[in-house]
Chain A
Amino acid sequence: MSDATITESSEAAEIPAGSDDGHDHIGLPHHTTTGLSNTKLAMWLFLGSECLLFGGLISTYMLYRNRQSDQIGPDQLWDIPFTSATSFVLLMSSLTMVMAVSAAKRKDEPRTKMWLTVTALLGGLFLAGQVYEFTTFYREGLGYTTSLFSSSFYTLTGFHGVHVAVGIIMLLSLVAMLAKGKLVGEKSETVEMIGLYWHFVDIVWILIFTLVYLIPA
């Protein structure tokens, strides 16, 4: 009798298990328990944890922003119009990124590539601005080790800059892989994932722009 009950229960179980004829194609959301894509879930977990990374760097800066040795502090250095312009560029790159995601969802590959390229260019423009800003500050006497203010400022904005640079590399690689048809997996989802990363980088800059540049020391 024992066997009978067990078999029965197993056969009842056959339906859901069998409907899936063994072809687990990942990336197709309906195969996961929550119905959500693995990659997207992973990306949001990553971004959630990144909040604590940038939070730590921002807090360090906030603690040390008034600790400069000479007369080289925010009041002497900040060029708000210039930084506003580069911030605006990065903000607009979020728009172009979302246009790329939207085009990818429509399977409009030429436009996807176009918007991705534009996003990378805007990101590059932002980075160029940051390099220009850093060199200007350096010429005015603000080295990395000049003061606690300078170290924490360069570390925070540097970390952000590296994130932007990584984003640009990913965008350009994505364009190249799309062009060569080498992309593995669901195209629109890959574009969306890189989009999420890119928007996060933009979001962090929204925080930095206000907390570092706009709020008076």
Chain B
Amino acid sequence: MAIIERPADTLALSGAGGPAVVTASTSYGNFRRPVETTGWKSWAFTVDHKKIGIMYGVVAMVFFFIGGFEALLIRAQLAQPDGTILSADKYNQMFTMHATTMVFLFVMPMAAAFANYMIPLQIGARDVAFPRLNALSLWLFIFGGLFINSSWILGGAADGGWFMYAPNSSSAFSPTNGVDFWTLGLLITGVASQVGAINLIVTALNMRAPGMSLMRMPIFTWMALVVQFLLLFAIPIITVALFLLMFQRNFGANFFSVEAGADPLLWQHMFWLFGHPEVYILVLPSFGIISEVLPTFSRKPLFGYPFVVFSGAAIGFVGFGVWAHHMFASGLGPISVAVFSVATMAIAVPTGVKIINWTLTMWGGKLWFTTSMLFAIGLIVQFTIGGLSGVTHAVAPSDTQQTDTYYIVAHFHYVIFGGAVLGLFAGLYYWWPKIFGKMLSERIGKWNFWLMIIGMNLTFGPMHILGLQGQPRRMYRWTSQRAGEGFFDLGFWNLVASVGSFVLGVGALLFLVNVWVSRKHPPAPEDPWDARSLEWITTSPPKEHNFDRIPTVHTLDEFFHRKYEDVGEGDQHDYKQVATGQEVVELEAKYADAHIHLPSPSYWPLVLAVAFPIIAYGVIYSTLLVIAGLAVAVLALFGWALEPPTADESDFDPPAPDGDEPSKELAVSV
């Protein structure tokens, strides 16, 4: 094992510099603090938001390809009449898990990856407010995702569709444990989101660098902040619904059984009370990402920054008031339908504001068509298509025709794939050199982009036609007798969609190829894109402590203004470069803080997170496991509460004789 040294000047420091926060006492018996900085322990027990962000991203990417594989099976089944690849039962599981995986285990955690990695860097902080809670969120997400997917080998996955409507979710119609795995797994990932939301809100509000007022915050941080508020208030609603479903399936309650006198619509309301804000939870991070990418590659500031901020907040707020538009066909009554119809049309306004802002950001700019920029432009175009078909659902009479057809499937894939996923890829290409210090190949990147765009339009475009022709969603096979003729031949368009999905699959795989190829690339320059915001005022990849000194912020686009000086007169702006990004970064290093405090790694987030799936398996299989899981949780909580933020002296091996590295003490607690 590597010798882990506590940097030498720490002792002197805590003696001289103010109150010593932690008294040295062995906090948990024989267990030394996992202070390793390399090897697997440095990842498993880390509380560093950057490592946590990377792990979020890697695991989300794995789930992306699992979810994609499920999608390809679905499309393979539907490519030909009378498909035989999947049974009806397996098909039900496949579309349920495809959606669940993509929504909860790919888009949300990938957005969380960026939020975790970028928020502290963009606001000039050394970590999040609660580093250990951050690690807890990560592990809860991972274990929750694994737990849900373990149902595949334990009797079959959930099969009620991702919104799991009653009565399909009841034991009578879904007798395997699949729905139980789904319910409990989403409860676990829900805790992850909830904890993460609280953590990141506190971080964004409380940990900003000097001078970083709210209206100087980089736009991605703003959108991520709005998303955390949406999570904060939406997750508890689905938590209630999931608990009720769990009590129904496991303890004999009847919250959603019509035969017991219940209102099955209660589930639908609670699901969509969460589910509609969820739509914005998925897409707003991507809006934030491309609001960073577009100005950078247009060489212009974001057009109407305050409007983008406020429209983002407005989308979040109004997003809570439109949930019942998912239920127009459920017999809500004319007044409810009218109210929710109007509210839904209203939400198109702030979204339109954003589209206009992005377009005008590019207007007159010196455009640089990097892969990241292409993905961002792709988002504007594809999301607008999805938004327009969305407005056709807002019109309730039209929606009644479209409900449960492929037209809906087309719509939400244009919104979620064309909106959220393209934005995430824009972010991956944009921030890859920041995070890993290597450039991704632009050549492969362009292929990656074009294959994905062509693939998605081939896949989801024809679904508009299929849906308007009446092909219902979730049907596991179709017959050629009823396929129709000519332009409206369902068989032809189903085949096109299936071919498109494989093009899309190849396009997505090219990203992995790109990552693989880029590992041999030379180190990226510190500022490859001539970027604008604060995360670039440090090395790439950033040091463990993020910033050599905490930057002081004077303006929005701080990094840009440290590189360029306005030599224009009056209202005319004319920017002259006065420094390269490299020079700005080097200057920061020159004025590095002498003593930088970072929190120490900890076992307890991982231990506490392990308790959750144990309890969940226990709910399904055995009360003994519940008790065992609770015991682990209690142990972890006490370990957590008793653990000082910094490691003890005794956790380290003796200091090296030449110890003039910066010390690593704590910055933040809990």
**Interface core residue of B240, B584, B666 (most chain A CB under 10 Å):** B240
Q: Is residue B21 within 8 Å, beta carbon to beta carbon, of the partner chain?
A: yes
Q: Tell me whether A26 and B666 are in contact (CB under 8 A).
A: yes
Q: Tell me whether B595 and A49 are in contact (CB under 8 A).
A: no
Q: Tell me whether B669 and A184 are in contact (CB under 8 A).
A: yes
What is the minimal beta-carbon distance from A113 to any residue of chain B, in angstroms?
17
What is the minimal beta-carbon distance from A95 to any residue of chain B, in angstroms?
26
What is the minimal beta-carbon distance from A70 to any residue of chain B, in angstroms?
13
Q: How far apart are the CA atoms of A18 and B233 in the complex, in Å?
A: 38
Q: Tell me whether B262 and A64 are in contact (CB under 8 A).
A: yes
A173 and B641 contact, Cβ closer than 8 Å, known pairs A14-B591, A49-B232:
yes
What is the minimal beta-carbon distance from B485 to any residue of chain A, in angstroms?
50
Q: What mask results when residues 589 to 630 of chain B are scored 1 for a CB within 8 Å of chain A, else 0?
A: 001011111000000000000000000000000000000000
Contacts of A114 in B (CB 8 A): none
Q: How far apart are the CA atoms of A145 and B577 in the complex, in Å?
A: 73
Within 8 A of A (CB), among B481-512: none
A152 and B236 contact, Cβ closer than 8 Å, known pairs A1-B578, A2-B578, A6-B584:
no
Number of interface residues of A (CB under 8 A): 56
Q: Tell me whether B262 and A148 are in contact (CB under 8 A).
A: yes
What is the minimal beta-carbon distance from A123 to any residue of chain B, in angstroms?
18
Q: Is residue B18 within 8 Å, beta carbon to beta carbon, of the partner chain?
A: yes
Q: Tell me whether B638 and A23 are in contact (CB under 8 A).
A: no
Within 8 A of B (CB), among A1-55: 1-3, 5-7, 9-10, 12-14, 16-17, 20-27, 32-34, 36, 38-39, 41-42, 45-46, 48-50, 52-53
A50 and B205 contact, Cβ closer than 8 Å, known pairs A2-B579, A148-B262, A155-B247:
no
Q: Is residue A141 within 8 Å, beta carbon to beta carbon, of the partner chain?
A: no
Q: Tell me whether A42 and B202 are in contact (CB under 8 A).
A: yes
Q: Tell me whether B233 and A22 are in contact (CB under 8 A).
A: no
Q: Is residue B244 within 8 Å, beta carbon to beta carbon, of the partner chain?
A: yes
Q: Is residue A211 within 8 Å, beta carbon to beta carbon, of the partner chain?
A: no
Q: Tell me whether A145 and B251 are in contact (CB under 8 A).
A: yes
A6 and B207 contact, Cβ closer than 8 Å, known pairs A56-B236, A144-B251, A145-B251:
no
Q: Tell me whether B194 and A38 are in contact (CB under 8 A).
A: no
Q: Tell me whether B670 and A39 are in contact (CB under 8 A).
A: yes
Q: State which of A14, A33, A145 has its C-beta within 8 Å of the C-beta of B252.
A: A145
What is the minimal beta-carbon distance from A17 to any residue of chain B, in angstroms?
5
Q: Is residue B583 within 8 Å, beta carbon to beta carbon, of the partner chain?
A: yes
What is the minimal beta-carbon distance from B240 to any residue of chain A, in angstroms?
3
Bin the interface of chain B by size. 35 or more
Contacts of A155 in B (CB 8 A): 243-244, 247, 253
Q: State which of B207, B554, B594 has its C-beta within 8 Å of the C-beta of A9.
A: B554
Tally the A-B contacts, defined by beta carbons under 8 Å: 171
Contacts of A39 in B (CB 8 A): 670
Within 8 A of A (CB), among B547-596: 549-552, 554, 562, 565, 577-579, 583-584, 587-588, 591, 593-596
Q: What mask results when residues 141 to 162 of chain A are scored 1 for a CB within 8 Å of chain B, else 0?
A: 0001101100110010001000
Q: How far apart are the CA atoms of A46 and B194 in the complex, in Å?
A: 8
Q: Tell me whether B255 and A49 are in contact (CB under 8 A).
A: no
Q: Tell me whether A56 and B251 are in contact (CB under 8 A).
A: no
Q: State which of A5, A23, A60 has its C-beta within 8 Å of the C-beta of B240.
A: A60
Q: How far apart are the CA atoms of A198 and B482 in the complex, in Å?
A: 63
What is the minimal beta-carbon distance from A41 to any residue of chain B, in angstroms?
5
A41 and B202 contact, Cβ closer than 8 Å, known pairs A2-B579, A52-B236:
yes
Stretch touching chain A among B85-93, B379-387, B405-413, B642-650: B642-650
Q: Tell me whether B18 and A23 are in contact (CB under 8 A).
A: yes
Q: State which of A17, A36, A148 has its C-beta within 8 Å of the C-beta of B260.
A: A148
Q: Tell me whether A17 and B210 are in contact (CB under 8 A).
A: yes
Q: Is residue B351 within 8 Å, beta carbon to beta carbon, of the partner chain?
A: no
Q: Tell me whether A22 and B206 are in contact (CB under 8 A).
A: no
What is the minimal beta-carbon distance from A16 to any residue of chain B, in angstroms?
4
Q: Is residue B263 within 8 Å, beta carbon to beta carbon, of the partner chain?
A: yes
Q: State which of A17, A34, A56 has its C-beta within 8 Å of the C-beta of B549.
A: A17
Q: Is residue B460 within 8 Å, beta carbon to beta carbon, of the partner chain?
A: no
Q: Is residue B339 within 8 Å, beta carbon to beta carbon, of the partner chain?
A: no
What is the minimal beta-carbon distance from B667 to any residue of chain A, in angstroms?
5
Contacts of A7 in B (CB 8 A): 587
Contacts of B197 in A (CB 8 A): 45, 49
Contacts of A16 in B (CB 8 A): 210-211, 552
Contacts of A57 in B (CB 8 A): 240
Contacts of A46 in B (CB 8 A): 198
Within 8 A of A (CB), among B243-267: 243-244, 247, 251-255, 260-263, 266
What is the minimal beta-carbon distance from A65 to any residue of chain B, in angstroms?
12
Contacts of A152 in B (CB 8 A): 255
A33 and B270 contact, Cβ closer than 8 Å, known pairs A9-B554, A26-B666:
no
Within 8 A of A (CB), among B358-403: none
Contacts of A24 in B (CB 8 A): 126, 597, 666-668
What is the minimal beta-carbon distance from A151 to any residue of chain B, in angstroms?
4
Q: Which residue of B is nearest A155, CB measured?
A: B247
Q: Tell me whether B199 and A25 are in contact (CB under 8 A).
A: no
Contacts of A63 in B (CB 8 A): 263, 266
Q: Which residues of A contact B (CB under 8 A)?
A: 1-3, 5-7, 9-10, 12-14, 16-17, 20-27, 32-34, 36, 38-39, 41-42, 45-46, 48-50, 52-53, 56-57, 60, 63-64, 67, 69, 144-145, 147-148, 151-152, 155, 159, 173, 177, 182, 184-185
Q: Which residues of B contact A (CB under 8 A)?
A: 17-19, 21-22, 126, 129-130, 194, 197-199, 201-202, 205-208, 210-212, 232-233, 235-237, 239-241, 243-244, 247, 251-255, 260-263, 266, 270, 549-552, 554, 562, 565, 577-579, 583-584, 587-588, 591, 593-597, 638, 641-645, 666-670
10 contacts between A and B (CB under 8 A): A5-B565, A22-B596, A23-B18, A26-B666, A26-B670, A49-B233, A60-B240, A145-B252, A151-B253, A173-B638
6 additional A-B pairs beyond A38-B207, A38-B668, beta carbons within 8 Å, are A3-B583, A13-B211, A17-B552, A67-B262, A152-B255, A184-B22
8 interchain residue pairs of minimum CB distance? A13-B552, A56-B240, A2-B578, A151-B253, A52-B236, A22-B595, A53-B236, A32-B206
